[in-house]
Amino acid sequence: MRTEQPKMIYLKDYQAPDYLIDETHLTFELFEDHSLVHAQLVMRRNPAAGTGLPPLVLDGQQLELLSLSMDGAELGAADYQLSDSQLRLQPKAASFVIDSSVRIHPESNTALEGLYKSGSMFCTQCEAEGFRKITYYLDRPDVMSKFTTTVSAEQHRYPVLLSNGNPIASGPEEGDRHWVTWQDPFMKPAYLFALVAGDLWCVEDSFTTMSQREVALRIYVEPENIDKCQHAMDSLKKSMRWDEEVYGREYDLDIFMIVAVNDFNMGAMENKGLNIFNSSCVLAKAETATDAAHQRVEAVVAHEYFHNWSGNRVTCRDWFQLSLKEGFTVFRDAEFSADMNSRTVKRIEDVAYLRTHQFAEDAGPMAHPVRPDAFIEISNFYTLTVYEKGSEVVRMIHTLLGAEGFRKGSDLYFERHDGQAVTCDDFIKAMEDANGVDLSQFKRWYSQGGTPRLSVSESYDAQARTYSLSFKQSCPPTPGQKDKQPFVIPVALGLLDGQGGEMPLRLAGEAAAGGTSRVVAIDQAEQVLTFLDVAEKPLPSLLRGFSAPVKLGFPYSRDQLMFLMQHDSDGFNRWEAGQQLAVQVLQELIAQHQRGEALVMDPRLTAALRTVLEDEQLDQAMVAEMLSLPGEGYLTEISVVADVDAIHGAREFARRQLAEALFEPLWQRYQANREVSRSSPYVAEAEHFARRSLQNIALSYLMLGDQPQVLAACLEQFEVCDNMTERLAALAVLVNSPFEEEKAKALASFADFFKDNPLVMDQWFSVQAASSLPGALERVQQLMQHPAFTLKNPNKVRALIGAFAGQNPVGFHQADGSGYRFLADQVITLNALNPQIASRLLSPLTRWGKYDSARQGLMKAELERILASGELSSDVFEVVSKSLA
Ligand code: TRP
Ligand code: ZN
């Protein structure tokens, strides 16, 4: 807990460090009731930061200082000043060595930052500012050092002792202890430091790099999980090959290790040569992990591996530059996943996620630019904006420069900045220099927050055979930013003729037509594009592949959207047309619901989805995506005032209408796909993901009706399958069904069978917490008493409380405010246990601006109650105070 007022930190105040740390020699002595950390820092004055010898200010928190010396001379209390967060001393020469010993308490560290215990294993999480909870240090990413680490622990409890780099020595010690020394030859900032000690088993493999070096690959897990590592290992090898082929990047150490831990605040961490993962992002096998979990493991393994270049070899100068590594690396992992699976489906999933969650963040009180300019607690800025929007910004550069130009830029970036800590400007500069382009206006994507709106209107002149598109862009104000300058918005577009064919594109000023799809950069507040030789009035296909993270407005009629759904050559826009059609139909139903009228659904939605369902040529994953109506979260995001009950009622009504009208094709598709699932073993590959996703969405529609053969099929799928994808989907639809007896039986048998597998139990908690049936809060409160639940494990908190507050709008937004009160209570408890998790958990309360005034009042009252609840962590304080400002 903080004892000083939390302080705002500004990008504009950045100053280079006064001192550098050339070498860092660490020794850890791990014990059950405390640990000792000895650090030897070989330091010198930073020549780039001025002259003279300013005081040395080391970061340190929750450390018990046992001894301190400079150049071998022990310092007394008069020689330094100590506060909660800093150790200040006066160097006497330009080069010197600091030795310190501290006592820390990993065994009682529930914040899961610094050195802590997950079960019986020791592990670390240092990003962003956790290293200062391990030893006194210059804990900032622009201080890079060569690390040597010795770990000493009891031999029988901790046979495996790991750190970054290569093992260089080891030996026994008295008292059944042993030690291992690791050396990392690469300079790195402290946030990439890692240490692991435990009784771990490992799966081993190897990879031959493009220059024929052998790299040992190891995935370390607790013994009971040794059978769930193969998928992560395969993903790792694919990632290593892909980064060589697509970016020319080779791995640089002789060993690459992944360790799975159960207690982890985020998904995973890219520590040099020793990635530490949330076990949910490593472990996967057919019987216990869904298709979605398999794809997440593949993506996260790739993401962390790719950081070895985009993050580690080239790192961030300061934490305002976080998107330099995260936005770029998310873009890299998204392209990897697109290459490994279905490109269009990956794009659809990412865009749906961005528009639901990042757009909501951009419209809320925590909105910030991709490169923020101020923060209180950096942990609060590992956001959808920095990650997902940051990735969209890199994608736009890729779109504008083309794959080859982008590769020239990334080559120059890696070459120019290898071993350095740099900024987003350096990244852009490399892209500019390699391509001879000017991206200065484009850089507004880094400095201006908020989601731009792009409104488009058309006019056709049959006489002159010209077609014009007028673009108007604007961006709403965000905290601290009232007026926005125009962005550079790459719009990929095409024109369809009356038969659905692609028309050749010739813009005014061009000698001849070139291509049928192209990218135009819209960079003015208002801008008109005129196409020549346009023989008939076309239908425009705009923002193909979602070429920019904007809200597009074009006055499409429903018939035009149906036409685009069938004919657009861009798969993403075919899906998008279906979504926009569904949005129009659902918004009409929402309005009827609000007026208290009987709901009547436009039959064109049914007709459009019937065509999709009957199209045997269409990729099954696309069929499944097109059958998925826009989520309640997205419908909330696009509402001015979200009416939770009307949104839910309208969407459920539409689902029932579709289920009834499309029973035959749904049942036929279900049975055909289920038959393949039943008769062939599970395979974690795209075409099989596609088959199962259509099978399962069909089942979820079919279960809305009351045909007994469907319930029988659902129960059969639940009981007779070799994989978690089918089993969990069947369980989820049962949980949301009125069949109380079958539901109770399925939930009980599932929990009984999987009670010892925490990741499967997380799924069991989630499907119940996300069920919109009445009594959700009581259900969640009861489940908190279940022996498998604990507030100390972030996965459990996310699976139960996070799913309730984030994925169950009717349950959470109960008009009496009970959902809000419950969430605030959990935030207050977690604030003391794990501030990062508390702060993330409270984000649904920050969205009060979207709801009616009664709910707004209730939500704000809970935020006030949190604020008044006593000693708040800087994490929770920042989010609550900004939400109330
Ligand atoms: N750098 C990690 C990533 O790959 C993010 C991360 C992992 C993190 N653990 C964390 C960030 C704890 C803050 C705190 O994206
Ligand atoms: Zn990352």
Instruction: Give the distance (Å) from ligand 1 centre to CA of residue 219.
Output: 19
Residue nearest ligand 1's atom 2 by CA: 269
| 620, two tokens | 């099954």
CATH 1.10.390.10 fits 309-553, yes or no: yes
Residues 94-107 have pLDDT tens digits of: 999 999 999 999 99
The tokens for 874 are: 């800087």
Within 246-320, strands assigned E span 255-261, 268-269, 274-278, 315-316
The two structure tokens encoding residue 457: 């209107």
Atom of ligand 1 nearest to the CA of 387: 15
Place of tokens 């982890």: 264
User: CA-to-CA distance for 413 and 398, rounded, in angstroms?
Assistant: 14
Query: From atom 7 of ligand 1, which residue's Cα is the shortest distance away?
Result: 269
With contact defined as beta carbons under 8 Å apart, do 361 and 883 qualify? no
Residue nearest to atom 4 of ligand 1 (CA): 269
CB 258 within 8 A of CB 301: yes
Give the model confidence (pLDDT) of 113-123 as tens digits. Answer: 999 999 999 99
State the distance from the centre of ligand 1 to the C-alpha of 267, rounded, in angstroms: 7
Closest ligand to the CA of 328:
2
Encode pLDDT of 826-878 as tens digits.
999 999 999 999 999 999 999 999 999 999 999 999 999 999 999 999 999 99
Q: Are 111 and 834 in contact (CB under 8 A)?
A: yes
Distance CA 809, CA 317 (A): 40
In DSSP terms, which residues pair with 725 in a beta bridge?
none
Query: Residue 237 C-alpha to ligand 2 middle, in angstroms?
Result: 18
φ, ψ of residue 803 to 5 degrees: the values are -65, -40
pLDDT over 80 at 679, yes or no: yes
pLDDT for residue 5: 72
pTM for the model: 0.99
Distances (CA, A) of 55 to 83, 86, 131, 141: 15, 12, 21, 20
Fold exhibited by the domain 755-885: Zincin-like fold (1.25.50)
Identify the three-state secondary structure at position 147.
Answer: strand
Helices (H), 599-739: 603-614, 620-627, 632-637, 644-661, 663-679, 686-702, 708-719, 724-735
DSSP state of 386: I
Catalytic-role residue among 113, 129, 304, 576 = 304
Q: If you measure from the C-alpha of residue 156 to the centroid of ligand 1, how many angstroms do you get, rounded to a whole number? A: 31
What is the rounded CA–CA span in Å between residue 439 and residue 560?
36
CA distance 580 to 764: 33
DSSP 404-461: HHHHHHHHHHHHHHTT-EE-HHHHHHHHHHHHT---TTTTHHHH--S--EEEEEEEEE
* 269: nearest Cα among 154, 125, 483, 121: 125
* pLDDT tens digits along 197-245: 999 999 999 999 999 999 999 999 999 999 999 999 999 999 999 999 9
Q: How far apart are CA 87 and CA 55, in angstroms?
A: 10
Q: Which atom of ligand 1 is nearest to the CA of 128?
A: 13
How large is the greatest C-alpha to C-alpha distance in the chain, in angstroms?
Answer: 95
- Sequence-ordered strand ranges (E) for 462-578: 466-474, 489-496, 518-522, 526-531, 539-541, 551-553
CA of 181 from ligand 2 middle (Å) equals: 27
Q: What is the rounded end-to-end Cα distance, in angstroms, of the chain? A: 22
Encoded tokens for 717: 């799928």
Give the mean pLDDT of 312-335: 99
Q: Is the CB–ligand 1 distance for residue 129 below 6 Å?
A: no
d(CA 199, CA 226): 12
Distance CA 123, CA 144 (A): 22
What whole-number distance in Å separates Cα of residue 196 and Cα of residue 200? 10
Beta carbons of 153 and 175 less than 8 angstroms apart: no
Torsion of CA 66, 70, 73, 74, to 10 degrees: -20
The Cα–Cα gap between 486 and 482 comes to 13
Among protein residues, the one whose CA lies closest to atom 10 of ligand 1: 266
Query: Is the pLDDT reported for residue 1 higher than 70?
Result: no
How many helices and strands in the chain, by DSSP H and E?
A: 30, 32
Amino acid in position 167: P
pLDDT digits (tens, 9 = 90+) for 558-581: 999 999 999 999 999 999 999 999
CA 272 / ligand 2 centre spacing (Å) = 13
1-199 and 755-885, same CATH topology: no
520-534 confidence digits (pLDDT tens)? 999 999 999 999 999
* The two three-digit tokens of residue 147, written as one number: 């690390």
Mean pLDDT of all residues in the chain? Answer: 98
Q: What's the confidence (pLDDT) of residue 788?
A: 98
pLDDT of residue 358: 98
Sign of CA dihedral 459, 462, 464, 466: positive
Q: Which of 109, 381, 382 to mutate to test the pocket of ligand 1 (most atoms within 8 A of CB)?
A: 382
Structure tokens given for 215: 């790299």
Pocket lining: 304 vs ligand 1, CB cutoff 6 Å: yes
Tell me if 806 sits within 8 A of 770, measured CB to CB.
no
How far CA 313 is from CA of 20, 230, 866, in Å, comes to 18, 28, 41
**Do residues 11 and 373 lie in contact, with contact meaning Cβ atoms separated by under 8 Å?**
yes
Within 10 A of 6 (CB to CB), how many other CB atoms are there? 15
Q: With a 6 A CB cut-off, is 308 part of the ligand 1 pocket?
A: no
**Measured from the CB, is residue 388 less than 6 Å from ligand 1?**
no
Would you say the C-alpha torsion 499, 505, 506, 507 has a positive or negative sign? positive
Q: Give the 3-state secondary structure of residue 35.
A: strand
Confidence of residue 6 (pLDDT cuts 50, 70, 90): confident
Residue 2 has pLDDT above 80, yes or no: no
Mutation choice for ligand 1 from 118, 139, 269, 309, CB with most ligand atoms inside 8 A: 269
Helix, strand, or coil (residue 298): helix
Ligand 1 centroid–CA 547 distance in Å is 27
- Strand 56-59 with 114-118, pairing: unpaired
Contact 239, 306 (CB under 8 A): yes
Is the Cβ atom of 290 under 6 angstroms away from ligand 1?
no
Residue 631 has pLDDT above 90, yes or no: yes
Instruction: List CB contacts of 632: < 8 A, sequence separation 6 or more.
Output: 644, 647, 648, 651, 809
- CA-378 nearest atom, ligand 1: 13
As a whole number of angstroms, the distance between CA 457 and CA 158 comes to 67
CB of 570 sitting under 6 A from ligand 1 = no
- Cβ(776)–Cβ(757) below 8 Å: no
Instruction: For 643-657, write each residue's pLDDT tens digit.
Output: 999 999 999 999 999
Q: Is residue 380 within 6 Å of ligand 1 at its C-beta? A: no
Q: pLDDT over 70 for what percent of the chain?
A: 100
**127 in contact with ligand 1, CB cutoff 6 A:** yes
Atom of ligand 1 nearest to the CA of 379: 13
State whether the beta carbon of 300 lies less than 6 angstroms from ligand 1. Answer: no
Report strand pairing: 64-70 vs 56-59.
Answer: unpaired
CB distance 805 to ligand 1 below 6 Å = no
**270 CB within 6 A, ligand 1:** yes
Tokens in use for 295? 């794809």
Containing H/E element for 68? strand 64-70
Q: Which one, of 743, 834, 788, 871, lies nearest residue 266 by Cα?
A: 834
pLDDT digits (tens, 9 = 90+) for 716-766: 999 999 999 999 999 999 999 999 999 999 999 999 999 999 999 999 999
Whether the CB of 194 sits within 6 Å of ligand 1: no
- Residue 379 near ligand 1, beta carbon < 6 Å: yes
| Residue 212 half-sphere exposure toward CB, CA atoms < 13 A | 0
Dump pLDDT digits (tens) for 726-740: 999 999 999 999 999
Burial class (CB in 10 A: 0-12, 13-18, 19+), 665: middle
* Probe target for ligand 1 pocket from 264, 265, 375, with the most ligand atoms within 8 Å of CB: 265
What are the backbone dihedrals phi and psi of residue 182, each rounded to the nearest 5 degrees, phi first? -115, 145
Report phi then psi at 104, rounded to 5: -130, 170
- Distance CA(702)–CA(671), nearest Å, equals 11
The C-alpha atoms of residue 604 and residue 592 are separated, in whole angstroms, by 17
Nearest of 160, 161, 120, 117 to residue 28 by alpha carbon? 161
Rg for the chain (alpha carbons), in Å? Answer: 28
- The C-alpha atoms of residue 725 and residue 722 are separated, in whole angstroms, by 9
Distance 641 CA to ligand 2 centre (A): 34
| 304 catalytic residue (yes or no) | yes
Burial class (CB in 10 A: 0-12, 13-18, 19+), 212: exposed
CATH topology (fold) of 1-199: Immunoglobulin-like (2.60.40)
CA distances, 199 to each of 118, 121, 196, 220 (Å): 12, 7, 10, 9
Domain boundaries, the chain: 1-199, 309-553, 755-885
Determine contact, residues 53/45, Cβ cutoff 8 Å: yes
Q: Compute the distance between CA of residue 551 and CA of residue 454 in angstroms, rounded to an integer.
A: 6
Does residue 89 have a pLDDT over 70?
Answer: yes
CA-303 nearest atom, ligand 1: 4
Cα distances (angstroms) measured from residue 793 to each of 117, 225, 668, 699, 779: 12, 18, 43, 33, 19
